[in-house]
Chain A
Amino acid sequence: MRPGRRIAGWVFIAPALIVIGVFFLLPVLLAVGLSLTDFDIYALASLRNLQFVGLDNYLAVLRMGLFWRALGNTLYFVVVGVPLSIGAALGAALLVHSRLARCRGFFRVALFTPVVTNLIAVAVIWKYLFQTRYGIVNFVLGRFGVHPVDWLGDPHMAMPTIILFALWKNFGYAMIIVLAGLQAIPDELYEAARLDGASAWRQLRHITLPLLGPTLMTVGLLTMVGYFQLFAEPYVMTEGGPLQSTLSVLYLMYNQGFDWWNLGLASAIAFVLFVFTLAATGLLVRAGRRKGWV
């Protein structure tokens, strides 16, 4: 073996490793340290104002009413949003996959389109579609005798409206993956079931869904991890309001870190969110394992 070959591998991975090491792995390690300091706007001015505070930031987070409010909002978004998104994805995938469907190519792209649109742009669009006085949604509902709803201005309605928006924006992603899962199920299984006289509903329950289990598990996990990182939607549509009803944990981290420059506290919030995300992922994986889906 020529000497060049042995080092070629390291030379090839060097640029990527340097970028990932310097701009991701190193900051992650530093974040652990940062979360144990009182890094604030004074430390930003001079590091001499920096003090080691142990676990104080973590205790402060757990004692902060606003953190629990934000966590509650985030969990609401995840617990309602993920099943809705996966359910819609499954329904849409079954429709597009159906032998009765026409123009499948068109529908597949049309239903997927929201995924590749810019989140900020479409959040702005939704804000106006759901506007109380001039919005199309209230106008259409008005035709059916429904009084105007203050979608983004009512503390009880703002989060459901954001969930509806996230559903619209994201179900296409899971749909594409579920579609690939559906295509992998052999036709013979359905033919055999039909010969046995099984109805479409029974074929769905006893063939499609069990075989699709692992796929649904994967997209469920990916969607959940993404939904825990709720930020841009409330940032654009509600600014966390009304009455903090759409303030998410990540939004709180952004506020603390980059509006108030409490970078130590913000790092602690980031780790606490990470732990909650891991715990929720673990729960879902355990539930899936019981069904043999993982």
Chain B
Amino acid sequence: MLRFSPLAWAKLEYFCHRGDTEIGGFGVSKPNDLLAIEDFATLKQRTTAVSVVFDDAAVGDYFEAQVDAGRTPEQFARIWLHTHPGNCPQPSMTDELTFDRVFGNASWAVMFILARGGERYCRLRFNTGPGGAMVVPVEIDYAMPFAGSDHDGWRAEFNRNVHEEPVIVRGFANGSRRVEDPLDAFGEYNDALEPLLDADLFDFDFDECEVL
């Protein structure tokens, strides 16, 4: 089970609803309980209503700072957290590709997705022995110690790290239109954005989403 401290969860929810875009970060865990998240750490990132990309140099800076703080990579770089618009937390093809490419060589990793509607998805992957993956439950653990909220600090961190960009809608001479993600997070799967042409993003029909 993945457990969040109430403070870490509150901060994640704050970031999820602070703007109109996806956001992401890492869970920072207790040294002796790696699936117990004490803090939600964000870093400089570009975001749109449908995607989020971390700044590469900021990831390097984050690793350096966490190591300087005395933490090991298992504590700060294995639990990847991000949000989705609407109600569907199911991972996209982009999410799966990132989870495989970035975290597939670590001995274990977690992909956690929080949808703005409140649904959650969490998968633990382990690469030791025969390897494997499983969807795991999530809870907010009120038995973990926690301080009060820090809206001023969270707002400053959000403004410092989250750089929002609009989704691009291109019109063509033949009357057709195309939605493009300026972060190019969809790559060859950009056609997945096509349904957004006919729907407001946050009214988009997520009924086909099956939450595991």
> Do A and B share a complex?
no
Which A residues fall within an 8 A CB radius of B? none
Which B residues fall within an 8 A CB radius of A? none
